[in-house]
Amino acid sequence: MGAGKSTVAQALAERLPKSVHLRGDLFRRMIVGGRVEMSPNPPPEAERQLRIRYEFAWDIATKYADAGFTVVYQDVLLGEFLGWAAERLKAYRPAVVVLDPSAEVLTARDKARTKNIYGDPVYGAWTAEQIRHVLHDETPHIGIWLDTSAQTVEETVTEIMTRLKLQG
């Protein structure tokens, strides 16, 4: 959260000739009544809703890919869920890119936004340090991991395109 996923994914999709920017958070926001946010110690209903969100996003991603689009799917996939996503989408040979700025940068970016996540009880009172702990200690280290702390959006997109050998 606050790593720049939406901004980078949109900029990347804009540089690709036939692309879709699929925002996984859209499926979370579609739940109007009874939404349960993820937290450091989530209740079972939060995990169930998260799994539903991922399943919907992956179904939509495959539909766009089957229609010939390059799908830039952007979401928070921590812990077992990153490996689960890669496995579920393996027929499409997904490129996994993890944005990994420092906790200080995450916190600073969050404070500069209108929607603050870190420390907000609605979002489970996550801290940047907790997110980084789950990312580094519980998430499989697959794909490309980028410390984007000192990079601009354009530098990040260029690095992703170069490392994945994408043509824009």
Q: Which residue has the higher pLDDT, 97 or 2?
A: 97
Contacts with 166 (C-beta within 8 Å, 6 or more apart), sequence order:
15, 16, 160
**1 vs 120, higher pLDDT:** 1
Paired residues of 70 in beta bridges: 19
Looking at residue 163, its amino acid is: R
**Rounded percentage of the chain residues whose pLDDT exceeds 70:** 96
Check pLDDT > 90 for residue 67.
Answer: yes
| Secondary structure of the chain as H, E, C letters | CCCCHHHHHHHHHHHCCCEEEEECHHHHHCCCCCCCCCCCCCCHHHHHHHHHHHHHHHHHHHHHHHCCCEEEEECCCCCHHHHHHHHHCHHHCCCCEEECCCHHHHHHHHHHCCCCCCCCHHHCCCCHHHHHHHHHHHCCCCCEEECCCCCCHHHHHHHHHHHHCCCC
Q: Is the pTM of this model over 0.85?
A: yes
Q: Give the integer Cα–Cα distance in Å for 109 and 72.
A: 22
Domain residue limits, the chain: 5-164
CATH of 5-164, one of 2.40.50.140, 3.40.50.300, 1.10.3720.10, 3.40.605.10: 3.40.50.300
Greater confidence (112 vs 148) lies with 148
Of 16, 75, 73, the residue nearest 51 (C-alpha): 75
